[in-house]
Amino acid sequence: MLARLSVLMFLQYSVPGVVLPLYSMRLDALGFSPWQIALCSATHGVASILAPLMGQLADRWLAAQKCLAVCGVLAALDLAWLLVARDFWSMLLATQLFWLLAVPMMMLGTAITFTHLEHPEAQFGFARLWGTIGWMATPWILFGVEAATGGKGAAGDTLIMAGMAMSLVLTAYTFTLPDTPPRHTSVSWLAPAEAVRRLAGVSFFTFAACMAGFCLIQPFAIQGTPLLLNDLLEDEWGARGARVWLPPLLTIAQVSEITCLALLPAFLNRLGQRGSMLLGLATWCLILGMLSMGGKVWLLLLSLGLNGPVITGFLVVGQVYLNSRAHGDLKASAQSLMFSIQGTGLVCGHLLFGALRAETPPGGLDGELPGVFAIGAGLAFALLAILWAGFRPDLDALEDD
């Protein structure tokens, strides 16, 4: 079962992996303004806010694997639209539709995985590791194409076409998954609200606030790192070298993430949920501090290499924490609740990043972005202090008993 669920993770993360890494660069190349890039990027967060609706559907009315199949085939069709979109409104609508399908896909796959793993806390890290490998797969396909064509291929187009294929493969694979039927229970039909009621406590609200704050800052790296790294690579290696090498260099973050996910059981045994999440946020402070120091290729690559403790320690352990608190019929809605919390932060963060870029005096990305990253580092340090003061999952466990 673990192997089958690992394949599911690989496929479901490979689909958004074709869009997110180079998305801000694609829009920048089309001549979009910082505000337009921010608005298009914020569609990811809007979809995350709406994710509880899909969680409720999976919890109450339709088997999770069937929802996943529908999302997969529709995502393939929407990526065909995204492939040809060139003006702002077409790009905005196509991207919004994509995330309205991709976010529920990730949420449903996570819920299916937690439901069918025999020991979720010990095994989820291994399954989620294959999601990261899936995220890396398409950029390396692109690298092979670009290297074979001497950097003359259409980078973004190749990735999107690969994503269409992966969406259809995911749809086919859902027919092999174990049944995850809806639970026709008598609890409130407003499952996300019920999840909040059951989970309520100081630790949960601290976790929710820090998760929203983390996602408020995350767009600084999502939008800024590819733009800045591409700018620096073009200065050193020329446009052709940057075109070939940027996608695989960005996967340094995923290599680090794979290593940390493989060590997740050791993280939890040694540090516990609280210590692992504090380590993740502390590393995030360090990354943003490094990015604020200015444009050096080696510094950006080092910051990418530190992403593993952040994703594993904070985001993945956060999923484990939420799953350990949500019992019975609320697991899918609890996970979708986390996506909604993340979405609120992402929408605000993308718009904040666009506003900061628009207000920064022009001076090239190397002069524009470090100051924005410095603001993010300050916010991350504040979140670290809040998490340290208010997050005590061990006390939650005692209260549950």
Residue 30 is encoded by which pair of tokens? Answer: 């089309």
- Amino acid sitting at position 271: L
Mean pLDDT is highest, among 86-95, 153-162, 234-243, for 86-95
| 300 close to 263: Cβ distance less than 8 angstroms | no
328: pLDDT strictly greater than 70? no
Residue 144 is encoded by which pair of tokens? Answer: 């092979």
pLDDT per position as a tens digit, 132-159: 888 887 777 777 766 666 555 455 677 7
Closest to 313 measured CA to CA, from 176, 223, 211, 165: 211
Helices vs. strands in the chain: H and E counts, helices first: 18, 0
Closest to 133 measured CA to CA, from 319, 263, 258: 258
Cα–Cα distance measured from residue 215 to residue 381, given in angstroms and rounded to the nearest whole number: 14
Report in angstroms the alpha-carbon separations of 328 from 59, 134, 182, 319. 10, 30, 12, 16
Percent of the chain whose predicted confidence (pLDDT) is above 70:
82
CATH class of 2-178+189-400: mainly alpha
The pTM assigned to this predicted structure is 0.78
pLDDT of residue 186: 47
Cα–Cα distance measured from residue 273 to residue 243, given in angstroms and rounded to the nearest whole number: 40
pLDDT of residue 40: 92
Q: Chain-wide mean pLDDT for the chain?
A: 82
What are the φ and ψ backbone dihedral angles of 273, each rounded to 5 degrees?
Answer: -65, -45
Residue with more model confidence, 292 or 396: 292
- Amino acid sitting at position 167: S
The total number of residues written for the chain in this structure: 401
| 28 close to 81: Cβ distance less than 8 angstroms | no
pLDDT of residue 52: 67
Q: Is 36 helix (H, G, I), strand (E, B) or coil?
A: helix
Q: What are the residues whose beta carbons fall under 8 Å from the beta carbon of 80, sequence distance 6 or more?
A: 164
Mean pLDDT, residues 286-309 taken together: 88
Count Cβ atoms within 10 A of the Cβ of residue 386 and give its class: 0-12 exposed, 13-18 middle, 19 or more buried.
middle
pLDDT of residue 398: 46
Confidence of residue 96 (pLDDT cuts 50, 70, 90): very high
Cα–Cα distance measured from residue 41 to residue 349, given in angstroms and rounded to the nearest whole number: 10
298: pLDDT strictly greater than 80? yes
168: pLDDT strictly greater than 90? yes
Mean pLDDT is highest, among 100-114, 136-150, 265-279, 347-361, for 265-279
pLDDT of residue 191: 57
Residue with more model confidence, 278 or 191: 278
| 360 close to 78: Cβ distance less than 8 angstroms | no
Residue 41 is encoded by which pair of tokens? Answer: 């990027």
Closest to 307 measured CA to CA, from 228, 201, 200, 225: 225
pLDDT of residue 187: 47
pLDDT per position as a tens digit, 344-395: 999 999 998 888 877 766 555 556 677 888 889 999 999 999 999 989 887 6
